Each structure stands twice: as structure tokens, then as C-alpha cells.
Structure 1
Amino acid sequence: MFGDNEYAAPAAWATIQARTAALGFDMPSEANTGALLRLLAASKPGGRMLELGTGTGLATAWLLDGLDAAASLVSVDVDPVVQDVARDALKDDRLRFVLADGLDYVLAQPPESFDLIFADAWPGKYEAFDQALALLKRGGLYVIDDMLPQPNWPEEHQARVDALVDRLEAHPDLAVTRLAWASGLIVAARR
């Protein structure tokens, strides 16, 4: 079916998805999110990508699949159990896993050091938002998902999402697009 990108998933994706389900991990990235991430990563030849929130590596697999030979990806997560799923399934010299709090990682990086940031965790999205945006190079892309209501959201979460969307759209250095795609995505480009 048109719009269902699971058929084009990277080779490791099915294995990661099965292990994700077995773990009971209830925050996986969808195939359609991954397909867009692969496309965006491919648009940054030789680029340096950052994923905040490896999870089990479902989105990581797509990002990695979009990288050219000269590009690199850093994927950060605080949970070794879920990140180990990705570590076991994704062996590639262009990929570096960091087991750390995403907030600490963001705060330790130099400005304008990434061409694409996928913020799939609180750090970089709801915490240290401005610091994460400062990591983007000019022309860099900032991507977030889970912007449409999700069944696992706490009651007060919609207000957080609305405030984040307002901040992004009011930011003078960003061109922002909302996408009713997968779990609801926002893609912003730094001017």
C-alpha cells in the first residue's frame, strides 16, 4: 500500500523489531518515520548525524541506511538494555553508540557540530531544546516525532507538545514543517 514503507526497511530492522516486541518496549519508531529519516540522512552527504534516544535502534537502522560512506551517526541513550538491542544488530564503522544521559551529551557538544538531529527523547526536545538547536549547522535539519496524540501520553503531555510546536514555529532561525505522517513529525531547517 502506498504510504507504508515497511517493505523497504533496512535488513536489520525486522530483527530489531522482533527484539523490541519481546522486550515490551512501547516507544518504538514507526517504519514511516524511519523512511523519512533515511531520506533526510541521505540528503546530507558526508554529514554528521545525531540521534537522541537510541531506544532499541529501529530509527537508528533507517538513519544508518541513509548515510553515505563519508557520513557518520552518533546515537545516544541512557538505557543500556534497550541500546544493547541496537548494538547487537547494527555493526558499522559510521555508527557510534554513546551510553549517557542525552542532556549531558548535548551540553558537552560544540555549537554547529551536526547536520541532522533526530530528537527522539526528552533531552533535545523538552529539555535543553535551545542547546540542541545550537548544535545544528546552517542548513541542518532538526526532526522530532510523536507530535500527534499517542495512547501512552500522560494527561498533561498535550500542553507540552503544543508549547514545543509554538517555540519551534516562532524561532527566527528555523523553517518548520508539520507532517501528519506516522506519529506526527516536525522537520525544521536551520537558516
Structure 2
Amino acid sequence: MDDTPKHLPDTLESLRAKARAAGFGMSSEDRTGSLLAALAATRPQGRILELGTGVGEGTAWLLSGMDADSRLVTVELDPALQSLAREQLGADPRVTWVTGDGGEWLEQYDGEPFDLVFADTWPGKFTHLDRALALVAPGGTYLVDDLLPQPGWPEGHASSVAGLLERLEERADFRSVRMTWASGLLMAVRPAG
């Protein structure tokens, strides 16, 4: 079976060109993106959180799956990277752009929980994990990627991944599944009942 996504967001090629020009090579790959779009599509009027906008490739995938009444909050530390995403996607009224430290944002956020949390950066994944999981609504999903060894991983990344997997597997309030697919994914769902 060919698992290459056939339907890509319209803005993806332009975002990829901007990523290459900026020397940014950490965007979500297409299979992860297609899963993001599918998960977003399961949540009519959904509330979605993306930690780590980057240049907006994951954002584009999420938007492609969202309905008109869904809302996305996307958080990015690097204003230059996020500005590239805003150039392509900033006209979409479903997006709230947050430029700042994801860990600080997680600590300060006091709004409604989210139906889908995609942690694509250190805060919400390797730091502030408990806070990110607390923001997942009953019946909601938490997704992380980049769990399989990747070129350019920083020193200690493998041990961070091992610790994350162990912590998530220990949680009785989530049901999780590891996927040795794409860049290595873990999806955890908070039971609705």
C-alpha cells in the first residue's frame, strides 16, 4: 500500500520553498500532515492547539482538515519563522498566532481545553508535558512526532524521547498508541467518560 498523501494543502509548496530559503528543515512530513488533517476533520467546531508553528507546514495541514467553525491557536518562539507562515496563512480567520515561548504560554493559558493538541516542539513534549496534557479535553487527542531517530538530533534527544514515552505510557488518564510510521508518532487520547 502506498501511504503517500494524495491531497496536499494548496499552500504547502510555497511554505516549503520558504522553509528551504530560511534553512529550516524541521517541518512535519507529509504522512504526519495527512494525519493532522484527518484528526482535525473529526472535530467539527474543534479547538486545536499547535505548539511549534515553524514556517507553517503543520498549520496548513491542520487548516486543510478543519471546518469553518473550528479554531486553531499556533505558538512559535521564533518570530522570523512564524512571519513566513503568516505571509501564506495569515488571512485565515480561524487562526490565532502567538509568538513567544511555548512553555510560558502553557503556564499562563487559562482558557478552554483543546480537542487536539499537536506538540511539535520541546514545550508540550519534553518540557511542560503535564500542562499540555491538562489542556486536552475529554475525548481529545494529544499527538507528538519526531520520535524516531532523525538527522541533526541534538545531544540528549534520544534520552528525552525515551523519557517522554515512559511518562506517557504511565498515565492512567490517557490511552496511547505508538506508531513506527512517518517520523515516529505517539497519539494519546483522553477518554470521554
TM-score bracket for this pair, using the shorter chain length: over 0.9
Q: Cα offset for 1:155? A: 3.7
Query: Residue type of the partner of 2:94?
Result: R
- C-alpha separation in 1, matches of 2:148 and 2:101: 25
Q: Cα offset for 1:76? A: 0.4
Per-residue deviation, residues 109-137 of structure 1 (Å, max 9, x unmatched)? 23751111000011001111101100111
Aligned to 1:152: 152
Contact 1:73 1:94 in 2 (8 A): yes
Aligned to 1:170: 170
Query: Which stretches of structure 1, 4 residues or longer, exceed 2 Å deviation after superposition?
Result: none
Q: Cα offset for 1:44? A: 1.1
5 Å-filtered alignment, 1:104-123, equals 104-110=104-110, 113-123=113-123
For 1:8, what is the secondary structure of its paired residue?
coil
- C-alpha separation in 2, matches of 1:48 and 1:106: 15
Per-residue deviation, residues 38-60 of structure 1 (Å, max 9, x unmatched)? 00011111110000000000000
Unaligned stretches of 5+ in structure 2? none
TM-score, structure 2 as length reference: 0.95
- C-alpha separation in 2, matches of 1:100 and 1:143: 21
State which drifts further: 162-171 or 106-115. Answer: 106-115
TM-score, structure 1 as length reference: 0.96
- C-alpha separation in 2, matches of 1:127 and 1:112: 21
Aligned to 2:34: 35
- C-alpha separation in 1, matches of 2:38 and 2:24: 25
Per-residue deviation, residues 132-156 of structure 1 (Å, max 9, x unmatched)? 1001110110000000001111242
5 Å-filtered alignment, 1:171-186, equals 171-186=171-186
Unaligned stretches of 5+ in structure 1? none
- C-alpha separation in 2, matches of 1:155 and 1:94: 37
- C-alpha separation in 1, matches of 2:65 and 2:105: 23
Query: Residue type of the partner of 2:117?
Result: I
Per-residue deviation, residues 58-109 of structure 1 (Å, max 9, x unmatched)? 0000001111111100000010111111100012111111111101111112
